[in-house]
Copies of this chain bind each other. A is one copy, B any other.
Amino acid sequence: MSSLRDAHDFEQPCPIRDVLDRIGDQWSLLVLSTLESGTFRFNTLLREIGDISKQMLSRTLKQLEQDGFVTRTVYAEVPPRVEYTLTDLGRSFLQPMQHLVAWADENHRTIVDARAHYRASR
């Protein structure tokens, strides 16, 4: 296993950078966590998330599909039905993310306080 520091390698594709690109964007993580509770159609997902535009949902799902986090299934019906669900990879990815969420919950106050203190000391 490489450390965070070792991951800084310019000569070849970097695992942690690929992962960060996927969670660093605005919507990927939210889409993944929404899909955690089951299979969704496009417009259902749109309503479920609420404040995402169909443009961004479309882009995000396509990326997640490309990287193997999400499966897209098209049913040959009229009107068309398309369903999205997590792959094993997508599901397994949410495990390490739980650690991060837990950390964020535990330490958010410290961060907020640090910001307030910083501003106060200007």
15 residue pairs bridging A and B, Cβ less than 8 Å apart? A4-B30, A4-B97, A7-B101, A10-B51, A13-B112, A16-B101, A18-B111, A19-B111, A66-B118, A67-B111, A67-B115, A68-B110, A68-B117, A93-B103, A99-B99
Instruction: Tell me if A's interface is mostly helix, strand, loop or mixed.
Output: helix
Contact with B along A56-74 (1 / 0, CB 8 A): 0000000001111000000
Assess whether A5 is in contact with B37, with CB atoms less than 8 Å apart. Answer: yes
Q: Assess whether B33 is in contact with A5, with CB atoms less than 8 Å apart.
A: yes
Which 8 pairs across A and B sit closest by C-beta, in order of nearness? A68-B114, A24-B24, A4-B33, A15-B108, A96-B99, A15-B104, A19-B104, A96-B103
A20 at the interface (CB under 8 A from B): yes
A102 vs chain B, min Cβ distance (A):
5
Q: Which residue of B lies closest to A113 (CB)?
A: B68
Q: Give the docked Cα–Cα distance between A110 and B29 (Å).
A: 18
Asked if A105 CB lies within 8 Å of chain B CBs, one says: yes
Cα of A94 to Cα of B5 in the assembled complex, Å:
11
Q: A37–B115 Cα gap in the complex (Å)?
A: 25
What separation, in Å, do the CA atoms of A16 and B106 have in the docked complex? Answer: 10
Q: At the interface, yes or no: A3 with Cβ under 8 Å from chain B?
A: yes
